[in-house]
Amino acid sequence: MEMDQWLPKYRRIVKELKYDPGEDKRAAGILDDLLKDRALPLEDLRQRVNGRPTLIFGAGPSLATDLKRILKTTLLSRCCLISADGATTALLKIAGKVPDVVVTDLDGVVEDIQEAERRGAYVVVHAHGDNIPKLERYVKTFSKALGTTQAEPVGLVHNFGGFTDGDRAVFLAGALGGDPLALVGMDMGKTVGPFSKMYVASPKVKVAKLRIGKKLLEWFASTAEATLFNLTSGGEDISGFERISPEELGGILTDMG
C-alpha cells in the first residue's frame, strides 16, 4: 500500500468520525518507542504468511457459527490463521486453535491475546489516538510485536492500509503475500458481534466504522493480486470477495495442490 493512495482516504475517515490525526501520530511515536527492544521483524511475519492460503477472522456476529462450520473441514490445519482482535478469543475457546497472527488495537480480551502469543502467535499491535494508555500498559507484556498505524509510518511502526481491526488484517495479509485470502466472521453489517470489543461507547460510531471497513475491503479487492473469498455465513456481501462455503474452499485448495 503506497501512502499517497492511503492517506487521502485516511484523512476523509478521521474527518467523518471527528478523530484527531495529531493524536494518531502521537500514538504511533509512543508505539515506536515501546517497540525498541521487542520489535518483531517484518520478514519473520512475511515468512509465516507468504504463499499460504489464509483465513482472516473478524469478530462479527457470524463468527461462532462460521467456526463451527469450518471445524467440520480440514481448513484450520491447512491455512494460515489471522485473527482480528476479539476473534482471537473465539479461535481459542470455540476452535481450540492458536492463530498464526493476531491483529489488535487491544480492545479485545488482552489476556487471550497474551495467551495466543505465549503459544506461538505473532502479534501486530495498532496505535491510534484512543488507545495510548493500553499501548503503554500492554505492549511491554509481549515478547515481540510488530507495530502499525493508520497515520504516516514512523520508525518501527508500519502502515499497510486499513482502519478497523478486520479490514486492517486483510490489508496486512495481502501485503504479506497470503493467497488465496478468505474472510470468516466478517459481517460488516449493523450488528456488533459478541466477540467484538468489550465496551462500545457509541453503537452509532461502531456501525459507521463497519461501513467504512466494508468500503475499504471493496477498495482492497479492486487492486488485490490474491484470489479473494468470503466464508461468512451472514452479514453483507462484500464486492470482490466471492461467497463460498468452507467445503468449497477445501475443494479449491485440493485442486490447487
Query: pLDDT tens, 65-103?
Result: 999 999 999 999 999 999 999 999 999 999 999 999 999
Residue 106, Cβ density class (10 Å: 0-12 exposed, 13-18 middle, ≥19 buried)? buried
Please state, for a pLDDT cut of 90, what percent of the chain lies above it: 91
Question: Is the pLDDT at 124 greater than 80, yes or no?
Answer: yes
pLDDT at 69: 97
Question: Is the pLDDT at 257 greater than 90, yes or no?
Answer: no
Q: Regarding beta strands 122-127 and 101-104, do their DSSP bridges make them parallel or antiparallel, or are they unpaired? A: parallel
Query: Using CA atoms, how far apart are residues 34 and 29, in angstroms rounded to an integer?
Result: 9
Query: Using CA atoms, how far apart are residues 217 and 241, in angstroms rounded to an integer?
Result: 9
Model-level pTM? 0.96
Nearest to 78 by CA among 114, 62, 54: 54
pLDDT at 77: 97
Q: Regarding beta strands 101-104 and 54-57, do their DSSP bridges make them parallel or antiparallel, or are they unpaired? A: unpaired
Query: Using 50, 70 and 90 to split pLDDT, how confident is the model at 202?
Result: low
What are the percentages of helix, strand and coil residues in the chain, rounded to 5?
45, 15, 40
Contact criterion met (CB below 8 Å) for 157 and 127: yes
Contact criterion met (CB below 8 Å) for 169 and 59: no
Per-residue pLDDT tens digits for 180-200: 999 999 999 887 777 776 555
Contact criterion met (CB below 8 Å) for 101 and 75: no
pLDDT at 201: 59
Q: Go through the chain and tell me how many residues it has.
A: 257
Per-residue pLDDT tens digits for 6-44: 999 999 999 999 999 999 999 999 999 999 999 999 999
Question: Is the pLDDT at 162 greater than 70, yes or no?
Answer: yes
Query: Using CA atoms, how far apart are residues 12 and 148, in angstroms rounded to an integer?
Result: 19
Domains of the chain (ranges; CATH) run 3-256 (3.90.1480)
